[in-house]
Amino acid sequence: MARFLLLLLAVWLVLIVVGWVVKGLFWLAVVGLLFFIGTAVLSSSRRR
């Protein structure tokens, strides 16, 4: 499960970077950031 969450975090980081590089895809950066935060919160809550 930890590997899957780390994979999701990596995917969201890639989406954020692509969204920032391609200025027309700013929404992709926002969505990637939201998913990254959600996955990080989910990961930290499952560890407790």
3-state SS of 1-48 is: CHHHHHHHHHHHHHHHHHHHHCHHHHHHHHHHHHHHHHHHHHHHHHHC
Q: What is the pLDDT of residue 48?
A: 65
Check whether 19 has a pLDDT greater than 80.
no
Q: What is the pLDDT of residue 20?
A: 78
Q: What is the pLDDT of residue 44?
A: 82
How far apart (Å, rounded) are the C-alpha atoms in residues 39 and 35?
A: 6
Check whether 2 has a pLDDT greater than 80.
no
Q: What pTM, to 2 d.p., does this model score?
A: 0.62
